[in-house]
Amino acid sequence: MNSRYFYISTKLTSNLLVIMRRLYLFAVTSLIAVSAIGQTRKATAPVNGPQRKVSIEQPKLQNTPSTNLVQKSKNKPVAYPINPAAKSMTLWEQVIGTSTYDNQSNNSNQNRIFVDDNGMAHATWMFSSASNSTTWPDRGTGYNMGQDENWGDEPADRLEDFRCGWPGIMATGDGGEAYVCHPGTDSIAFVKRTPAGSGEWVVSRVPGTVGNDFLWPRASVDGNTIHMIALSAPSGLNGTPLFGIDGNLLYWRSSDNGATWEVQNQTFEGLDSLNFKNIEADSYAIDARDGKVAVAVFSEDCDTQLMMSNDGGNTWTTQLIWDFPIFGYIGDSLSDIDLDGIADTIVTTDGVGSLLIDSDGVAHVTFGLFQFLDDVSGDEQYTIFQREELMYWNSNWPTDSLYVIGIPEESINDADELFDYTIDNVPDYRTSLSSMSTMAEGDDGKIYVVFRTADEEYLGDQMFSHLYVVVSEDGGDTWGPQIELTPDLEFNEYEYAFPSMHNRVSDKLHIVVQRDTEPGLNVRGDLDAWDNNDIVYLAITNDFDITENVNEIALNGANINLFPNPTTGIVSITGNDLAGAPVRVFNTAGQEIVYTRISKNFNASDRESFDFTYLPAGNYTLTIGTGATRVSKEFVVQH
């Protein structure tokens, strides 16, 4: 197993209070384990690390945003163009639309992209062009289709003639395409056209009546069958508790590509109202494949669990992924695990997860971490502690057995092994620093996880996050190193959020993601000033090295030389044992402005040349390798 990652199997021992169950032990062991690998990566935030007091009224459940739009001053890092050689994996990074509504999901992402049999990608997103708005009256579905750099014109309007949100797109079994979205009142909208890519969109409503509105849908297709889940409106949005759960998760099924729905607003037996008091908006995911259907629930205040059907949604079994330590916990009550009257800090999911059924029928699950302390009941506030890890689990594993597969990217240029930050540096997405995951399976069975995480190289007043990928070749048992899919070809000071990836990989990863220049959100959280946000399509070849951990390349005695120096921009490097070594260039402010690698077939008789002629004249530092054995060389660019 790659030492970059570690396996956690939480076990209770006799000297621990049994009533604590397993979660608190996981919190302790994960802190120790992450610290243990800090020599090559970083140490995680301690239990009493960066924190903020927040309202117990979770902003994720607000359908109408606050009017408190605050302009914030951010000291963004200055960046130069990235050496194109560093982006050889990315075939295209294409802006396909924009939106001023920057909250693509309250928690887990929808499936917002699919690729048809002709290689054409179809993408949706939450669209609005309203400026400085608090209601976004034109909010709806943005849509575009294309291939590589050839996409249609960016849409200037939503597809619908009514306000809606949370569009999740799918290819239907009859050659069409469809998406589900919620208008905010009554039932879920089902919008379809056949064939995919042409024709008129036809709007219908998914039938169902329980006395509440239906909100925040997710859907997945298996042949001609569409499986859909949605939440009944909670009491905070004019709903009433449904079968004892305030915001209950319900299931629908259509066996004829959405023409009729034979299963409507069905509850899950695995969601017991004694344990699940409420389910958060978007804190769930669904996938279907070869007659199997899986639904995962990631809500913060209750168990994290998987509900699986092997007969197309007729019967379901429930598997516990992660055991919440307080049965039937109610928000804004004392987080007292051991019933001693003293509040305990609880580690749980951040509500943001993803789900994939592979070709063997195994369900793969990823999610970020959340940590909170509620020490005063009824004050409508609690303290949250910033977490950093992205977790992985699959249905072959027992409860509470988890991998950490993603962590923030530690700078190698700040003379320490810590990702140093305060809570004020954290944009308020209410997630782990490593979160917003999306998954796919390759034709060869590899499992791909794309996620966003913070990058310490781009830490201004707030930290910027980029996209990374980790890959498993053995069904999730071990994972390769995380590989950065961004920074961008143009500038590093882009914030990437809400990625969604087509769930199959042949020769490319197909991703749609929101990108802007301001960490955080306008709609909720930070309440940043409004702006246009780019909706970006990324086509990334899957030929990157997933076995070599560049953090373990030792350069002791490498005898590295750099010439000429000064240079007009062309720099050559010679040395021993450099194959595959990472190469970074920093400016005098200590900001990384180039990231690339020595070629993998490099040998001692070779020299490798890099074109830095696009850099402004000045002094620079080039580092080769990572950790204690990295080598630094100063050079000067003269024009």
What was the pLDDT predicted at 51? 67
Grade residue 264 by pLDDT with cuts at 50, 70 and 90: very high
More confident residue, 589 or 415: 589
* Cα–Cα dist 139/277, whole Å: 31
* Cα–Cα dist 217/227, whole Å: 11
Say yes or no to pLDDT of 129 above 90. yes
Antiparallel, parallel or unpaired: β 90-99 and 390-394: unpaired
Say yes or no to pLDDT of 550 above 50. no
- If we measure between CA atoms, which residue out of 456, 481, 458, 307 comes closest to residue 395? 307
Write 204-208 long-range contacts (CB < 8 A, 24+): 204/258, 206/180, 206/230, 206/252, 206/261, 206/264, 207/261, 207/264, 208/250, 208/252, 208/261, 208/264, 208/265
* Cα–Cα dist 358/287, whole Å: 10
What was the pLDDT predicted at 47? 37
Average pLDDT over residues 500-512: 95
Average pLDDT over residues 507-536: 93
What was the pLDDT predicted at 487? 64
Place of tokens 């793969």: 364
What was the pLDDT predicted at 461? 85
Q: What is the pTM for the complete model shown?
A: 0.77
Grade residue 606 by pLDDT with cuts at 50, 70 and 90: confident
| Residues paired with 6 in a beta bridge | 404
What was the pLDDT predicted at 25? 28
All structural domains of the chain, each given as residue ranges with its CATH number in brackets, are: 59-541 (2.120.10), 553-637 (2.60.40.3080)
Q: Flag the least confident range among 62-66, 207-211, 266-270, 352-356.
A: 62-66
Say yes or no to pLDDT of 338 above 80. yes
More confident residue, 9 or 227: 227
Place of tokens 């530690």: 410
* Main-chain dihedrals φ then ψ at residue 599, nearest 5 degrees: -60, 150
- If we measure between CA atoms, which residue out of 312, 409, 352, 379 comes closest to residue 42? 409
Grade residue 510 by pLDDT with cuts at 50, 70 and 90: very high
Q: Flag the least confident range among 187-191, 366-370, 608-612.
A: 608-612
* H or E, element range at 441: strand 435-442
Write 557-565 long-range contacts (CB < 8 A, 24+): 558/624, 558/625, 558/631, 560/624, 560/631, 560/633, 562/622, 562/633, 562/635, 565/634, 565/635, 565/636
Number of other residues whose CB lies within 10 A of the CB of residue 393:
25
Q: Flag the least confident range among 45-54, 103-112, 583-592.
A: 45-54
* Cα–Cα dist 240/231, whole Å: 12
What was the pLDDT predicted at 83? 35
Determine the distance from the C-alpha atom of residue 407 to the mean position of all C-alpha atoms in its chain, rounded to a whole number: 12
Give the E-state strand segments of 245-397 in sequence order. Answer: 249-254, 263-267, 284-289, 292-297, 304-309, 317-322, 346-357, 363-373, 381-385, 390-394
Please give the mean pLDDT across all residues of the chain: 82
* Cα–Cα dist 620/623, whole Å: 10
* Cα–Cα dist 426/433, whole Å: 8
pLDDT per residue as tens digits for the range 485-501: 886 655 557 899 999 99
Say yes or no to pLDDT of 1 above 50. no
Half-sphere exposure of 382 toward its Cβ, with a 13 Å CA cutoff?
24
Grade residue 627 by pLDDT with cuts at 50, 70 and 90: low
- If we measure between CA atoms, which residue out of 218, 333, 260, 283 comes closest to residue 61? 283
* Main-chain dihedrals φ then ψ at residue 627, nearest 5 degrees: 65, -155
pLDDT per residue as tens digits for the range 9-66: 322 222 222 222 222 223 323 332 322 222 222 223 333 446 665 554 433 333 333 2
Average pLDDT over residues 501-523: 94
* Main-chain dihedrals φ then ψ at residue 237, nearest 5 degrees: -125, 45
Half-sphere exposure of 99 toward its Cβ, with a 13 Å CA cutoff?
29
Say yes or no to pLDDT of 552 above 50. no
What was the pLDDT predicted at 481? 82
Average pLDDT over residues 184-198: 95
* H or E, element range at 35: helix 23-36
